[in-house]
A and B are shown apart, each in its own frame.
Chain A
Amino acid sequence: AQSVTQPDIHITVSEGASLELRCNYSYGATPYLFWYVQSPGQGLQLLLKYFSGDTLVQGIKGFEAEFKRSQSSFNLRKPSVHWSDAAEYFCAVGARGSARQLTFGSGTQLTVLP
């Protein structure tokens, strides 16, 4: 069974600073990997996804993530954080096959200081 670990429960950064959110996964083969963002009281918005190919993937809102097979990681990065990026971020893994089932990490709460 797959699993996802997000080691940082809460991260605080200043507006304009760079950001890196960590994600480690456990899965026997090459997984499908996703990052979602959730604002208070809202559903999840897909930021980016990795299926195969180029290990550096670009997403919406200026986010990118890098798949590193050797480290079983899929860290999310942004070069310059905006106050509107404050939210909770979830990393998720999906198994290859017909069923759509995502396993989520516990999330990282991002606070942005002015």
Chain B
Amino acid sequence: KAGVTQTPRYLIKTRGQQVTLSCSPISGHRSVSWYQQTPGQGLQFLFEYFSETQRNKGNFPGRFSGRQFSNSRSEMNVSTLELGDSALYLCASSPSGESYEQYFGPGTRLTVT
């Protein structure tokens, strides 16, 4: 099976702009989670989607949003970018049922200037 794919891999944006990141989960996985990784804060949970519904949300401002499509692909959006949003954004997919392990994609490196 193909792994989790994320596009784009690298992105440079300017403060105030908005950005959309995309994630395609492993085939058959219906849960998609997003994480932000920074040197200062480490890995932090953003949100999780399952069957097109947000099931859980981390402690991030409303500028961070996401959605999931009927084919389980997910997007996350960050509006009004700030310098502190520069990070590696990781997407993970998980099978349904009692399998709680998450499989991560390679990430999108976002740089805000």
Q: Are A98 and B90 in contact (CB under 8 A)?
A: no
A residues neighboring B (CB under 8 Å) = 32, 34, 36, 41-46, 49, 51, 90, 92, 94, 98-107
Tally of B interface residues using CB under 8 Å: 25
> Which B residues are closer than 8 A to A by beta carbons?
4, 31, 33, 35, 42-43, 45, 48, 50, 55-56, 58, 90, 92, 94, 98, 100-107, 109
Q: Decide if B42 touches A99 in the complex (CB within 8 Å).
A: no
The answer to whether A32 and B100 touch (CB under 8 A), given A42-B106, A44-B90, is yes
Given contacts A42-B106, A43-B90, A43-B107, contact A101 B45 (CB under 8 A): yes
CB contacts (< 8 Å) of B55 on chain A: these are 98-100
Asked whether B58 lies within 8 Å of A101 as measured between CB atoms, the reply is yes
Question: By the criterion CB–CB under 8 Å, are A90 and B106 in contact?
Answer: no
In the complex, which of the residues B100, B103, B106 contacts A51, with contact meaning CB atoms closer than 8 Å?
Answer: B100
User: How many Å from the CB of A103 to the closest CB on chain B?
Assistant: 7
Q: Of the candidates B31, B42, B104, which one forms a contact with A100 in the assembled complex, judged by CB atoms under 8 Å apart?
A: B31
